[in-house]
Structure 1
Amino acid sequence: MKNLRIAWVTVIVLFFLGLSPVSANDTKNIPVESTMTPAEMQVLIDRLEEIKKIDKSTLTKAERKDLRNELKETKKEITRNSGGVYLSIGAIILVILLLILLL
């Protein structure tokens, strides 16, 4: 009976590992150390607040597009330098299943 349980756990783990896309050349998920100081981060956050306060109805279409692109780039920069741990849905499900089966 215990061998059957171990076999099922192995099958489930292999199934979920097969579902997760893994690429050896994927450089997006490599954690990068934050090179920004807190003062630089505050400058970016202040700029985001300024963009939110701008009256966009007075801007031309090109100015709105430039502002939108600046907003996207600023948010990406903040996200890139804020750090944190990211888990995929497959990894979360796998951890939950292992906890249920082992406890």
Structure 2
Amino acid sequence: MKKNFCSSIVALVLTLFISISANAATPSATTENPAKISKKEKLMGSEEGKAILSRLEEIKAMDKSEMTAKEKRELRKEVRALKTQAAQLGGGVYISAGALIVILLLILLL
């Protein structure tokens, strides 16, 4: 009985993986990544997010060829800080592939 139950769970998990991979293989209707669009839209929703995006655009448009190495370094630090603030505003949960495998193994074993 237990062997039959485990084999049905394994078959269910394999079917799930096949359906997910088949869905991921289909091209999307838009040329841009919808996750990036929604993240940017989330940032545009708040005043702080708009300020961060406008500052990043200003930095991108700057002429950096006449800057000193110290100024460039400070600019890179500022960009990193702005990107971390934007990531905190955007939110989201990320699971690594290793963690996903461990979770699935725990589900199968328990």
2:97 counterpart (73, 81, 89): 89
2:53 paired residue number? 45
TM-score by length of 2: 0.52
The answer on 1:75 being equivalent to 2:71 is: no
* Higher share in helix: 2
| Alpha-carbon distance between aligned partners in 2 of 1:65 and 1:84, rounded to the nearest angstrom | 29
Identity, % of aligned positions? 40
- The one-letter amino acid paired with 2:59 is I
Deviant stretches of 4+, over 2 Å: 1-6, 90-99
| Alpha-carbon distance between aligned partners in 1 of 2:66 and 2:94, rounded to the nearest angstrom | 39
2:65 counterpart (54, 57, 60): 57
| Alpha-carbon distance between aligned partners in 2 of 1:61 and 1:94, rounded to the nearest angstrom | 45
- The one-letter amino acid paired with 1:58 is E
The number of aligned residues is: 72
| Alpha-carbon distance between aligned partners in 1 of 2:83 and 2:52, rounded to the nearest angstrom | 8
| Alpha-carbon distance between aligned partners in 1 of 2:93 and 2:49, rounded to the nearest angstrom | 19
Ranked by relative contact order (alpha carbons within 8 Å, sequence separation 6 or more), the top structure is: 1
| Alpha-carbon distance between aligned partners in 2 of 1:50 and 1:96, rounded to the nearest angstrom | 45
- Structure 2: unaligned runs, 5 residues or longer: 10-42
TM-score by length of 1: 0.55
Give, in angstroms, the shift of residue 2 of structure 1. 2.4
